[in-house]
């Protein structure tokens, strides 16, 4: 009976899945399967199966995060306070899931790194990693805290050296005692993640519900509900003033005889939260924060900039491409959210109609994407020059044909954007970028030849869709 109870709790994410839209999960599973088989076929045998095991490890990590997220969602304050045994059942289920993931993670890492004598250390790290993932589903800001750990450890390396040596000596002399003590501490952390329904639990659960709702609305292209929450409202007040000033500027220069002026006003309604000014403010703020933090770390630690660029170019390139090229995959989905307003916009004097309106909207979207694409390409080229590796340019090259298809869709034929519709362009973009990378690395195809090929594909597509 206990096994049935815990299985109901742990398998709740799968039993609560949307059975009416299974294709998103099937496509993700198919992509993972094809990637795994491709690694086993194309990569050298000694590397191929390790990459496949690594992908299985990533899947296991995603499963554990989904289970942990659902456990915290089931930990409703009212149920924890009034239902006998509810919190205890969730704690036991969390311990069971943490144990299974820790053991599986340790076994998979041992397969990738066949060093059986390291199993105590791997078990210790796997347990901490599993507990960390569970707590990140409860407190998202832990991810931001972890971003500071590495720079601080470098900056305080000399001060922390005696403590590290003492811990290493203690581990060498009392390995299993330290391991047991750490595992008990990790289990305590897992248990503490499930609350009892107090006042702090209610406040935290309300914030988590607000964030879940905001994420759902973001996927649907709607304004996030948390913007009306007082702390966020105060933070975003300067941005709202900038947007209001831009709106007033557009209205003061309104001219119904000019198509440019008409579409400039219509764009504010058509693109909503994906308007170019909101996107530019968001990216500019993120860029300023990242550059400030990066400069602070470099100046305080004394690490060479060239070393940082060489070692972190891939991760930074993925982040830059994801932020800069995202407009090419999501802006068009906003047209579905503004479909009711589009009917009223047709009454605006000077508003293009029919095919002329489709071309005008596509022209706006291509203008925004072209500027974003050029800036992203320049940033990736500069990053590649600093790291002496220009393969990152595969990312903007791969975005051209995908953006051509997504940005030139006729609004009248669009359907409601689903999570699958939101993910397919991104998956296609990453898959095409991966294919270009493999062609350049394995077959020696010139990077600039790949860029010309992507341009040769995109231009006819654009002419055909236009």
Under the banding of pLDDT at 50, 70 and 90, the label for residue 162 is: confident
Range(s) of the domain holding residue 69: 2-155+168-214
Clarify whether residues 196 and 248 are in a common domain: no
pLDDT at residue 228 greater than cutoff 60: no
Are 367 and 398 contained in the same domain? yes
Longest CA pairwise span in the chain (Å)? 84
**Percent of the chain whose predicted confidence (pLDDT) is above 70:** 81
> Which residue, 180, 214, 248, sits at the end of a domain?
214
Which long-range contacts link 199-203 to residues 24+ away (Cβ below 8 Å)?
Answer: 201/75, 201/77, 201/80, 202/77
pLDDT at 1 over 50: no
Compute the CA torsion angle 165, 168, 169, 171 (nearest 10 deg).
Answer: 160
Q: Which pTM does this prediction carry?
A: 0.60
Q: Is 162 within the bounds of a domain? A: no
The owner of tokens 């596509």 is 362
Please state the φ and ψ torsions of residue 258, each to the nearest 5 degrees.
Answer: -105, 120
- Whether residue 240 is found in the same domain as residue 348: yes
Report the distance separating Cα 286 and Cα 269, nearest Å: 25
Is 206 in the same domain as 233? no
Residue 36 domain-assigned (yes or no): yes
Whether the Cβ atoms of residue 358 and residue 396 lie closer than 8 Å to each other: no
**Distances, alpha carbon 201 to alpha carbons 136, 138, 194, 195, 198, in Å:** 16, 11, 9, 6, 5
Total number of domains constituting the chain: 2
Query: What per-residue confidence (pLDDT) applies to 232?
Result: 58
Q: Is residue 161 part of a domain?
A: no
Least confident interval from 89-98, 208-217, 355-364:
208-217
Q: How far apart are CA 461 and CA 455, in angstroms?
A: 10
Q: How far apart are CA 129 and CA 32, in angstroms?
A: 23
The verdict on residue 237 lying in a domain is yes
One domain, residues 297 and 209: no
207 and 232 inside one domain: no
Q: Based on the domain organization, do 196 and 301 belong to the same domain?
A: no
Give me the chain's average pLDDT, please.
Answer: 77
Q: What is the pLDDT of residues 27-45, one digit of tens each?
A: 767 777 777 777 777 777 7
Q: Are residues 203 and 227 in the same domain?
A: no
> Are 366 and 230 in the same domain?
yes
304 and 195 share one domain: no
Q: Is residue 163 part of a domain?
A: no
Same domain, 12 and 104: yes
DSSP, collapsed to helix, strand or coil, labels residue 237 as: helix
Residue 160 in any domain: the answer is no
pLDDT-derived band at 453 (thresholds 50, 70, 90) equals confident
Residues 311 and 439 in one domain: yes
């Amino acid at each position: 009976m206990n096994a049935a109870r815990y299985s109901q709790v742990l398998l709740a994410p799968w039993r609560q899945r949307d059975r009416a839209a299974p294709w998103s999960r099937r496509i993700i599973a198919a992509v993972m399967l094809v990637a795994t088989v491709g690694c086993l076929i194309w990569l050298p045998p000694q590397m191929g199966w390790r990459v496949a095991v690594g992908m299985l490890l990533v899947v296991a990590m995603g499963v554990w995060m989904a289970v942990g997220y659902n456990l915290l969602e089931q930990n409703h304050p009212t149920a924890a306070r009034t239902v006998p045994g509810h919190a205890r059942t969730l704690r036991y289920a969390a311990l069971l899931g943490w144990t299974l993931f820790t053991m599986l993670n340790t076994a998979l890492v041992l397969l990738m790194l066949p060093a059986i004598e390291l199993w105590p250390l791997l078990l210790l790290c796997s347990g901490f990693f599993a507990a960390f993932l569970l707590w990140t589903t409860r407190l998202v800001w832990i991810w931001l805290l972890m971003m500071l750990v590495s720079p601080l450890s470098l900056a305080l390396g000399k001060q922390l050296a005696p403590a590290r040596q003492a811990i290493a000596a203690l581990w060498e002399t009392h390995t299993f005692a330290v391991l047991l003590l750490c595992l008990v501490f990790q289990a305590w952390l897992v248990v503490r993640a499930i609350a009892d329904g107090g006042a702090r639990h209610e406040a935290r659960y309300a914030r988590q519900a607000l964030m879940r709702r905001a994420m759902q609305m973001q996927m649907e292209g709607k304004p996030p509900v948390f913007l009306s929450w007082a702390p966020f409202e105060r933070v975003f007040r300067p941005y709202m003033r900038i947007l209001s000033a831009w709106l007033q500027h557009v209205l003061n220069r309104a001219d119904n005889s000019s198509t440019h002026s008409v579409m400039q006003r219509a764009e504010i309604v058509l693109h909503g939260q994906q308007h170019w000014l909101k996107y530019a403010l968001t990216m500019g703020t993120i860029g300023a924060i990242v550059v400030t933090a990066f400069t602070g770390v470099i100046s305080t630690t004394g690490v060479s900039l060239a070393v940082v660029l060489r070692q972190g170019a891939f991760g930074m390139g993925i982040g830059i491409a994801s932020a800069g090229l995202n407009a090419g995959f999501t802006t068009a989905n906003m047209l579905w959210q503004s479909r009711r307003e589009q009917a009223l916009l047709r009454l605006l004097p000077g508003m293009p109609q029919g095919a002329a309106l489709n071309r005008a909207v596509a022209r706006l979207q291509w203008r925004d994407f072209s500027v974003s694409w050029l800036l992203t390409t320049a940033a990736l080229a500069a990053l590649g020059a600093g790291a002496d590796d220009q393969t990152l340019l595969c990312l903007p090259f791969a975005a051209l044909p995908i953006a051509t298809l997504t940005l030139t869709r006729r609004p009248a034929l669009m359907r409601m954007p689903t999570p699958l519709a939101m993910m397919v362009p991104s998956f296609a973009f990453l898959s095409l970028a991966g294919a270009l990378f493999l062609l350049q690395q394995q077959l020696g195809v010139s990077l600039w030849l790949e860029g010309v090929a992507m341009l040769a594909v995109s231009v006819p597509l654009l002419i055909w869709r236009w």
